[in-house]
Amino acid sequence: MSPGAPSTAALPPLPSETVLASVEALAVELARAAGVETQAALRRTVDVSYKANRKGKEDSGDPVSEVDHAIEAIIRERVGAEFPGHAIIGEEVETHPAAAEEWVWVVDPVDGTANFVNGFPLFAVSIGVLHHGRPVAGAIWCASTPNLCAGVYHAHVGGTLALDGVAVAPRETVVKRKLAAVPGGSSAGTPHWDHRVTGSAALECAYVAAGIFTSAPFWGLKIWDVAAGVALVRAAGLEAWTREGGVWQPFERFVAPPRAPKGQDRPPSLRDWRAPLVLGTAEATRLIRERMRRPSLLARLLRTMRGRR
């Protein structure tokens, strides 16, 4: 099995509706509280540091603010108090839950930190809940929604997608020029839609679920970027696909890769998950998967050049 690929083992039964609803309710409460915290932080000077990149240089890595750390600490405390048996994976605190954990909360305290610290109002707080690796609940606080204000998109498996408790209805406006997310300027989109780059994967997931974007392809992101988003997209009746060994298949659940990253002497965990992921409508995900099966322009050019030698 390739790193981050879905398991072929049978999925355990889902928890009861009562349990799922209670998990979703706490995720919504925490996402909303975290959103209020980020909004308040925008009115003051925020301390920012930088994570080390692959070469060990901190000044060229991803930004992380004091708000990221504070929000994750609050979420960890509340989840630990409400559900003491549940494990937590957060972006800012490196923990590695055992592969056999039944419940895992996956937290990105501020997704789109570069936007946040620069005052660009497109960022999110993402809280996903996994049951044996399967996304069963999610809440994403978005700094901007179609209501022209912040709000929380949320859902649990078997339920419906909602924005601040109100079910999200299909968009009635007939749009000829539809939008699609293409994170980081990736070439993974198609010529069928206008492409947008927001700087926040969690926000893009929520916008796909809400029907604002037709699709979003992700390549090698971290589990906290997309765990909540998969739950929302599925609740909206849309599709999630991943690729294993060059073959696309419906996404089932997050699993740990066969081994830990190079240089880390420990068992692999869900925190190490990496895999291509495409979210969106049936038409959009099909077109993206077909496009990504074709060799890229660069790959074709390299083969042509090698043939001339």
Q: Answer yes or no: is pLDDT of 262 > 60.
A: yes
Residue 266 binned pLDDT confidence (cut-offs 50, 70, 90): very high
Highest-scoring range by mean pLDDT, 90-94, 116-120, 151-155: 151-155
Q: What mean pLDDT do residues 2-6 have?
A: 47
In-domain check, residue 12: no
At 211-237, the pLDDT tens digits run: 999 999 998 899 999 999 999 999 999
41: CB partners within 8 A, 6+ apart? 65, 67
Q: Cβ distance 150 to 142 under 8 Å? A: yes
Phi, psi dihedral angles at 302 (to 5 degrees): -65, -40
Q: Answer yes or no: is pLDDT of 245 > 90.
A: no
257: CB partners within 8 A, 6+ apart? 2, 3, 4, 268, 272, 273, 274
Q: Answer yes or no: is pLDDT of 278 > 70.
A: yes
Question: What is the Cα–Cα distance from 10 to 200, expressed in whole angstroms?
Answer: 33
What residue type is assigned to position 199 of the chain?
G
Question: What is the Cα–Cα distance from 264 to 246, expressed in whole angstroms?
Answer: 26
User: Which percentage of the chain shows pLDDT scores above 70?
Assistant: 86
Bridge partners for 137 per DSSP: 129, 156
At 10-57, the pLDDT tens digits run: 789 999 999 999 999 999 999 999 999 999 988 877 778 887 655 555
Name the helix (H) or strand (E) containing 79: helix 66-82
Cα distances (Å, whole numbers) of residue 105 to 39, 49, 274: 23, 25, 17
In-domain check, residue 236: yes
Please give the pLDDT value at position 57. Answer: 53
Token look-up 């901190």 returns 58
Average pLDDT of the chain?
A: 87
pTM over 0.85: yes
Which burial class, exposed, middle or buried, applies to 159 when counting CB atoms under 10 A from its CB (0-12, 13-18, 19+)?
A: middle
In-domain check, residue 1: no
Please give the pLDDT value at position 286. Answer: 95
In-domain check, residue 220: yes
In-domain check, residue 170: yes
| Residue 64 structural domain | 17-308
Please give the pLDDT value at position 56. Answer: 52
Please give the pLDDT value at position 227. Answer: 98
In-domain check, residue 257: yes
What sign does the dihedral 145-129-127-55 (CA atoms) show?
negative
At 102-146, the pLDDT tens digits run: 999 999 999 998 898 889 999 999 999 999 999 999 999 999 999
At 190-215, the pLDDT tens digits run: 778 899 999 999 999 999 999 999 99
Q: Answer yes or no: is pLDDT of 183 > 90.
A: no
In-domain check, residue 3: no
Please give the pLDDT value at position 2. Answer: 44
Q: What mean pLDDT do residues 273-280 have?
A: 95
In-domain check, residue 11: no
Q: CATH number of the domain at 78, please.
A: 3.30.540.10
Domain total in the chain: 1
